[in-house]
Amino acid sequence: MESGSLQLNGISWTVFRMGETTWLLQPNTDKGMLDIIHQTAFLLEESDIQDLRDVIPAYESLTIIFNDSDIDLKKTLSGIDQINTAPKLLPEFHEINVCYELGLDWKEIEINTRLTKEEVILIHSSIEYTIAMMGFLPGFIFLEGLDDRIAVSRKENPRIKIPSGSVGIGGNQTGIYSLESPGGWQIIGRTADSFFDVEKKPPTKLKAGDKIRFNPISKEEFDKMVAKNG
Amino acid sequence: MGKLVVIDGGLFTTVQDSGRFGFRKYGVPVSGVMDHSSFELANELVGNPKRAPVLEMTLKGGKYRFETDSVVAVTGAQMSLTVNQENAPLNSGIKVKAGDVLEFGYAQKGSRCYLAIRGKWQIKEVMGSYSTYSGGKFGGINGRSLQKGDQISWHDSSSDFKLFEVPIDRVPYYSTKLTVDFVPGPEWSWLSKEAQKKLLNTEFIISSKSNRMGIRLESNSKIGIEKRDMRSSGVIPGIIQLPPNGLPIILMKDGQTVGGYPRIGKVLDNHMDRLAQLPLNGVLRFKKITEYL
C-alpha cells in the first residue's frame, strides 16, 4: 500500500509510505496521542514482527522501517490489534539532579520570560515531564509538559558546542543534551548524570513514555557527583 | 595478524560498514557507507563478506603503510592510486607487501572511494556495527576520522587469494551532473503548484557544506513553502527536507533520526549511491515519480 489507513492497536491510523522500506503512521485522534504512540511503538517491538528494523516514536507520528521493500504493511500489522491481551508499556519515573547555576543563558531567559531566575527554576523543577521522544541526535531527550510561562525562543545563533548533560528550553519544549553537540536551545542548567553510553545495552536506561522530574542541586553537589561518576 | 599504519588520513577517512540498525528510537543515525555498491564491490574484490568494514575516503584519500603482506582493493571515486609511488589500478584486487606505502590523491571523478582489506578487521563493534559516527564520537577508530599514527589490524584468512578485476562495464562513470528520482514526501502538498514546478525545473549546486549528514543544495531560486507548525517526526536517509531558507537538504547516512522541516520528498534508494558520488559544485536536478519501484 502506498498510503491510506489501517487499524493498529485498536486505533485507526493514517498511513503514508515514506520510502522503499519506511512508513509514517499518524493516529486519527487528538486525545492522548503521545501515549497511544508510545504504547503502539512498544507493542510493535514486542510483537516479534519479521524484518522490522526500527520504530521511531515522535510527538504525533510513528515511523516504522523494515529490512525489505516488499512488505505488505496491512498484512504484516494485521495481527497486532488486540489491545486487551497486548503487553503494556510501563512508564518509569526518573529524578534528575540539575545544577541550574551552570545555565548559560540566564540573562536571555529572564528578559524573555520577565521572571527571575529563581522563579524560572521553581517552575521548571515543579513539573512532571513525559519523555516524548529521543533524537534528533543520540540521547537527545525531548520532554513534554513545559509550563508556557517559561517558554523561550531558540537562540538566534545556535552554539557549536553544548556540553553533555545540558538542560535546555527551546520554544515550548524542554530537553536534555545527553552528548556534547551543537544546538540552539537556551541552556538553563546541567546534570552530572549520564543518559547515553554506547557500551551499554540498551545505550540508555530512559525510554519514550517515562516520567521525569528535575531536582535542583548546588554547584558543590554537582561537582561531587561529577567526581563520583568519574 | 595483518596491520596498517596511517601516515596521513587524508581529508576525511572513516571506517564504515552497512550501518547500525535498530537504535533510531534512541536518536542514533544509521551511518554506514555513503555508496553501497562501491562498498560491496571492494569487499568482493578481496574475497571478504560483502558487508565487512572498509575505509571510506572523502575527496582526498591519504597515505597508508602496510606492515604485512596484504590483499587490498579500491573502488568508487577515481583517485590517483600508487603503491610505493608506482601507479596501481582501481577496481581490482592488489597484492601489497610488508613495508609498501599505498597513497591516494584527490578525487578526479566522484567524491568517495573505498578501501577494502582482505581479512577480519580487529575493531570493536558499537551497537552492532563498525561504522564511525563522528557526530556522536563512537564507532570505527575512536569515533573519528583517521589520523596519523592510527593502526588497523586484521586476521588474514589466506594469502593465496586469486586476484581479479572488475569487468569494465561494472565500473561506474561519475558525472558532475545528476538527475535523481524522488517520490513526493508527507509534506509535498505544502508546496504550491508553482513551487512544485520550480523544484523540478531548478538546477541545484552541491554546496561545500555537504557532508555525511546531508547533501546541501544551493541555487539562486529559492523554493518557497507556506510556513506551518510542524512537530518533529521521523526521517531517513534520502529524505528531502525544505528549511525556511528555501534550499533543500537531502539527508544522508549520518542524518538525524527526527526532524522538524517539511519532508517534500524521498530520493529513491537506488539513486543514493550516485548522489553520494556527486562532487562539490556538481549539478543536481530532481525528477518526480509517483511511486517506489
CA distance B39 to B35: 6
Q: Tell me, what's the pLDDT at B160? A: 76
Q: Which of B293, B288, B286, B260 is nearest to B184 (CA)?
A: B288
CA distance A203 to A179: 12
Residues written for chain B? 293
Domain residues of chain B, as ranges?
2-170, 177-288
- Whether B25 sits inside 8 A of A62 (CB atoms) is no
CA distance A33 to A35: 5
Order of strands, sheet of A22-27, starting from the edge strand that comes earlier in the sequence: A3-8, A11-17, A22-27, A62-66, A52-57
The three cell numbers of residue B125 are 563493534
Q: Tell me, what's the pLDDT at A229? A: 81
Candidates 3.40.50.11890, 3.90.105.10, 3.40.228.10, 2.40.100.10; CATH matching A93-229: 2.40.100.10
pLDDT digits (tens, 9 = 90+) for A2-15: 679 998 988 999 99
**Residue spans of chain B under pLDDT 50:** none
Residues written for chain A? 230
Q: Which of B27, B126, B269 sits opposite A136 (nearest CB)?
A: B27
Q: Which of B258, B136, B28, B255 is nearest to A133 (CA)?
A: B258
What is the per-residue DSSP string for B38-94?
Answer: HHHHHHHHHT--TTS-EEEEESEEEEEEESS-EEEEEEEEEEEEEETTEE--SSBEE
State yes or no: pLDDT of A86 exceeds 80.
no
0.80 surpassed by pTM: yes
Q: How far does the CA of residue B158 sit from the closest CA of chain A (Å)?
A: 32
pLDDT digits (tens, 9 = 90+) for A165-181: 999 999 888 999 999 98
Q: How large is the ipTM?
A: 0.94
Decide: B284 and B259 in contact? Cβ < 8 Å.
no
The three cell numbers of residue B24 are 533510531
Q: How far does the CA of residue B285 sit from the closest CA of chain A (Å)?
A: 19
DSSP B163: P
Residues in CB range of A224: below 8 A, 6 or more apart: none
| Residues of A whose CB is below 8 A from B229 | none
Residue A139 φ/ψ, nearest 5 degrees = 75, 10
Q: What is the topology classification, in CATH, of domain B177-288?
A: Cyclophilin (2.40.100)
Residue with C-alpha cell 519523555?
Answer: A131
Q: Where, residue-wise, is CATH 3.30.1360.40 in chain A?
A: 3-77
CA distance A126 to A130: 13
pLDDT digits (tens, 9 = 90+) for B227-264: 777 889 999 999 999 998 999 999 999 999 999 899 99
Decide: A15 and A28 in contact? Cβ < 8 Å.
no
Domain A3-77 in this protein, CATH class: alpha beta
Looking at per-residue pLDDT, the higher value among A50 and B200 belongs to B200
What angle is formed at CA A144 by the lines to CA A142 and CA A150, rounded to 5 degrees? 100
Q: Where, residue-wise, is CATH 2.40.100.10 in chain A?
A: 93-229
- Whether A24 sits inside 8 A of B268 (CB atoms) is no
- Whether A61 sits inside 8 A of B233 (CB atoms) is yes
- Whether B238 sits inside 8 A of A181 (CB atoms) is no
Number of cross-chain residue pairs from A and B with Cβ atoms under 8 Å apart? 118
Paired with A57 in beta bridges are A62
Q: Tell me, what's the pLDDT at B156? A: 80
CA distance A139 to A142: 9
Give Cα A52 to chain centroid, integer Å: 21
Q: Tell me, what's the pLDDT at B178? A: 98
If you compute the radius of gyration of chain A from its CA atoms, what whole number of angstroms results?
Answer: 20
Q: Tell me, what's the pLDDT at A83? A: 55
Q: How far does the CA of residue B219 sit from the closest CA of chain A (Å)?
A: 23
Decide: B153 and B3 in contact? Cβ < 8 Å.
yes
Looking at per-residue pLDDT, the higher value among A3 and A112 belongs to A112
Residues in CB range of B167: below 8 A, 6 or more apart: none
Q: Tell me, what's the pLDDT at A155? A: 87
The three cell numbers of residue A40 are 503502539
pLDDT band at A50 (very low <50, low <70, confident <90, very high): confident
Q: How far does the CA of residue A18 sit from the closest CA of chain B (Å)?
A: 6
A62-66 and A140-144 as β-strands: parallel, antiparallel, unpaired?
A: unpaired
State yes or no: pLDDT of A144 exceeds 90.
yes
Q: Which of A22, A55, A181 sits opposite B236 (nearest CB)?
A: A22
Q: What is the mean pLDDT of residues A39-50?
A: 90
The three cell numbers of residue B212 are 555525511
- Whether A62 sits inside 8 A of B269 (CB atoms) is no
CA distance B177 to A212: 50
